[in-house]
Amino acid sequence: MCPPHRNEGHEPHVVDEGDRQIRLMAHSRGFVVWFTGLPSAGKSTLARALEKELLRRDRPVEVLDGDEVRLRLTRGLGFSKADRDENIRRIAYVAKLLAGHGVVAITAAISPYREIRNEARAEIGDFVEVYVDCPLEECIRRDVKGLYRKALSGGLPNFTGVSDPYEPPVSPEVAVETGQESLDESVQKILAALDRLGYLAL
């Protein structure tokens, strides 16, 4: 008869970290591209376009889209500041795991608060913040779901940019202006920043 399985705490690490890093060095090094911006600023569209370009360069890529994450990873969390912060912590955790396995993890969540984004940066390390800058009026015009209209009429509380603050980054690695630039211009600007920072050569 087998002894009862003991699981009274966390399992010890069975993979030597040095061995893991040596194995990963044989492949490309992962990093995280963290998009932040108002709802309908263009984060998801940019993330998919950047994914396509990096795949074309044979880089392993995974996009953590804000809506999909809310549906599958953080279902049940609301839109209070505490829940929004927890949402970002979970995204950062998954993104860090992916980057640790040589993947370029692209996150496309609003992530409105500067403090929690800085926490994610410190947690992840290889972190490239992309500020998707777009005027509120243009975001409202683009909103096909009608969420801004509902928020402006008071029917949607805690909506970023209307009834909840958005804190833009102070020193992002790159800022794109989706109200003025074409999609290709914004993607090229991000790629140029990744190249300048040395990530495309890793």
What is the pLDDT, as a whole number, of residue 172? 98
pLDDT of residue 7: 45
How many C-alpha atoms does 34 have within 13 Å on its Cβ side? 33
Structure confidence at residue 50 (pLDDT) = 98
Question: For the residues of 97-157, what is the DSSP string, one character each?
Answer: HHHHTT-EEEEE-----HHHHHHHHHHHSSEEEEEEE--HHHHHHH-TT-HHHHHHTTSSS
Is 48 in contact with 118 (CB distance < 8 Å)? no
Give SS3 for 160: strand
Predicted confidence at residue 123, as pLDDT, reads 96
Which positions are catalytic? 111
Q: What is the model's pLDDT at position 168?
A: 97
Beta-carbon contacts of residue 92 (< 8 Å; ≥ 6 apart)? 107, 119, 120, 123, 124
Intervals of the chain under pLDDT 70: 1-27, 202
Q: What is the pTM of this model?
A: 0.85
Interatomic CA distance for residues 43 and 28, integer angstroms: 25
DSSP 37: -
Cα 138 to Cα 148: distance, rounded to the nearest angstrom: 11
Q: What pLDDT is stored for residue 8 in this prediction?
A: 45
Calculate the CA dihedral of residues 181, 170, 98, 200 and round it to 10 degrees.
60
Token representation of residue 62 = 């995974």
**Rounded to the nearest 5°, which phi and psi values hold at 152?**
-65, -25
